[in-house]
Chain A
Amino acid sequence: MSITTETTDSAVIREYRIRLPRWLRTLPGWLRTGGILLLLCAISIWVRSRYVGGQFWMDEGITVGISSHSLSAIPGIMRVDGSPPLFYMLLHIWMSWVGNSEAATHWLSIIFATLTIPVSYWGTLSFAGKRAALSAATVFAFNAFLDYYSLETRMYTLMTLLGLLATIGFIRGFVLRERRYVALFAVSQALMFYTHNWSLFFAAAAAISLAILYRYSGAEIRKDLIRDAIFAFVGAVILFAPWIPNFIYQVAHTAAPWDTRPRFGAPIQIATGVIGAASLTVVMVVGAVVGYSKLFTRPHRMTQEARIALMLLCLGIGTLVVAWVSSQVVTPAWVVRYFAPAIPAMLILLAIGISRAGVVGAVVVIFLVLFMARPSAFEPAYKSDMQDLGAEMGQLMHNGDLVIVGQPESTPLAYYYLPGGLRWANTMGPDPHPTYFNWVNALPRYKAENVTTTVDGMLNALKPGQQLLFIRPMTEGALNWKAPWTFEIRKRSAQYGAIIARDKQLVQVATAPHYYRGACCIADSAVLYKKVH
Chain B
Amino acid sequence: MSAVKVAVACGLVALLISACGIPPKPEAGTPHLRKQPGTHARTDDPRVKHVACLRSAKIHFHQYYTAEHHLPAIQVGSLPNGPTIIFYPTPGIAQGLQIMGEEQAAEVIGGALLYPNKATGNELSTIENCTATGVTG
Q: Do A and B come from one complex?
A: yes
Which residues of A does B touch, CB under 8 Å? 55-56, 68, 70-72, 92-93, 95-102, 385, 387-392, 394-395, 397-399, 401, 416-422, 510-511, 513-518
Question: Quick one: closest B residue to A69, CB to CB?
Answer: B19
* 17 A-B residue pairings within 8 Å (CB atoms): A70-B17, A70-B18, A93-B16, A95-B19, A96-B15, A96-B18, A388-B43, A394-B34, A397-B28, A399-B27, A401-B28, A513-B44, A514-B70, A514-B71, A515-B89, A516-B90, A517-B44
- Point out the residue from B16, B18, B40 that lies within 8 Å of A417, measured CB to CB: B40
A72, A99, A514 pick with most chain B CB within 10 angstroms: A514
| B-side contacts of A392, CB under 8 Å | 43
Q: Report the Cα distance A86→B5, complex, angstroms.
A: 28
Question: Quick one: closest B residue to A92, CB to CB?
Answer: B19
A70 near B19 with CB under 8 A, answer yes
Question: Quick one: closest A residue to B90, CB to CB?
Answer: A516
- Point out the residue from A100, A387, A398 that lies within 8 Å of B44, measured CB to CB: A387
Question: Quick one: closest A residue to B19, CB to CB?
Answer: A96
Question: Quick one: closest A residue to B72, CB to CB?
Answer: A514
B16, B19, B21, B72 pick with most chain A CB within 10 angstroms: B19
Is B121 close to A, CB under 8 A? no
Question: Quick one: closest B residue to A403, CB to CB?
Answer: B28
B17, B23, B111 pick with most chain A CB within 10 angstroms: B17
Contact (A95, B34) CB under 8 Å given A394-B41, A515-B72: no
A397 near B19 with CB under 8 A, answer no
Secondary structure type dominating chain A contacts: loop
Q: Given A95-B21, A515-B87, 4 more contacts at CB 8 Å?
A: A96-B18, A390-B41, A391-B44, A419-B33
0/1 string, B62-98, CB within 8 A of A gives 1: 0000000111100000000000000101100000000
| A-side contacts of B69, CB under 8 Å | 511, 514
- Point out the residue from B19, B42, B89, B90 that lies within 8 Å of A68, measured CB to CB: B19
Which residues of B does A touch, CB under 8 Å? 15-30, 33-34, 39-46, 69-72, 87, 89-90, 111
A420 near B22 with CB under 8 A, answer no
Question: Quick one: closest B residue to A386, CB to CB?
Answer: B41
5 nearest CB pairs, A to B: A390-B41, A391-B41, A421-B27, A388-B44, A420-B25
B46 near A515 with CB under 8 A, answer yes
Q: Give the Cβ gap from A405 to chain B, nearest Cβ, in Å.
A: 15
A399 near B29 with CB under 8 A, answer yes
B23 near A417 with CB under 8 A, answer no
| A-side contacts of B90, CB under 8 Å | 516, 518
B17, B27, B43 pick with most chain A CB within 10 angstroms: B43
A387 near B40 with CB under 8 A, answer yes
B16 near A419 with CB under 8 A, answer no
Q: Report the Cα distance A41→B43, complex, angstroms.
A: 34
A72 near B28 with CB under 8 A, answer no
B28 near A388 with CB under 8 A, answer no
Q: Give the Cβ gap from A55 to chain B, nearest Cβ, in Å.
A: 8
A72 near B72 with CB under 8 A, answer no
Question: Quick one: closest A residue to B23, CB to CB?
Answer: A99
Question: Quick one: closest B residue to A97, CB to CB?
Answer: B21
Question: Quick one: closest A residue to B13, CB to CB?
Answer: A71
Q: Report the Cα distance A404→B87, complex, angstroms.
A: 28
| B-side contacts of A511, CB under 8 Å | 69
A419 near B87 with CB under 8 A, answer no
B25, B28, B46, B89 pick with most chain A CB within 10 angstroms: B28
- Point out the residue from A387, A510, A514, A515 that lies within 8 Å of B41, measured CB to CB: A387
A515 near B21 with CB under 8 A, answer no
A95 near B22 with CB under 8 A, answer yes
Q: Give the Cβ gap from A113 to chain B, nearest Cβ, in Å.
A: 23
| A-side contacts of B34, CB under 8 Å | 391, 394-395
B16 near A96 with CB under 8 A, answer yes
| A-side contacts of B28, CB under 8 Å | 394, 397-399, 401, 418-422
Question: Quick one: closest B residue to A389, CB to CB?
Answer: B41
| B-side contacts of A101, CB under 8 Å | 40
A71 near B40 with CB under 8 A, answer no
| A-side contacts of B87, CB under 8 Å | 514-515
Q: Report the Cα distance A138→B61, complex, angstroms.
A: 49
Q: Give the Cβ gap from B67 to chain A, nearest Cβ, in Å.
A: 13
| A-side contacts of B29, CB under 8 Å | 397-399, 419, 421
Q: Report the Cα distance A98→B21, complex, angstroms.
A: 6
Q: Give the Cβ gap from A102 to chain B, nearest Cβ, in Å.
A: 7
| B-side contacts of A98, CB under 8 Å | 21
Q: Report the Cα distance A391→B41, complex, angstroms.
A: 5
| B-side contacts of A401, CB under 8 Å | 28
A515 near B44 with CB under 8 A, answer yes
- Point out the residue from A70, A97, A385, A416 that lies within 8 Å of B40, measured CB to CB: A416
Q: Report the Cα distance A99→B21, complex, angstroms.
A: 5
Q: Report the Cα distance A437→B70, complex, angstroms.
A: 34
| B-side contacts of A72, CB under 8 Å | 17
A385 near B18 with CB under 8 A, answer no
| B-side contacts of A515, CB under 8 Å | 44-46, 72, 87, 89, 111
Question: Quick one: closest B residue to A102, CB to CB?
Answer: B40
| B-side contacts of A517, CB under 8 Å | 44, 46
| A-side contacts of B33, CB under 8 Å | 394-395, 419
Contact (A418, B21) CB under 8 Å given A395-B33, A395-B34: no
Q: Give the Cβ gap from B66 to chain A, nearest Cβ, in Å.
A: 10
Q: Report the Cα distance A392→B42, complex, angstroms.
A: 8
| A-side contacts of B24, CB under 8 Å | 420
| B-side contacts of A416, CB under 8 Å | 40
| B-side contacts of A387, CB under 8 Å | 40-42, 44
A419 near B26 with CB under 8 A, answer yes
Q: Report the Cα distance A392→B89, complex, angstroms.
A: 13
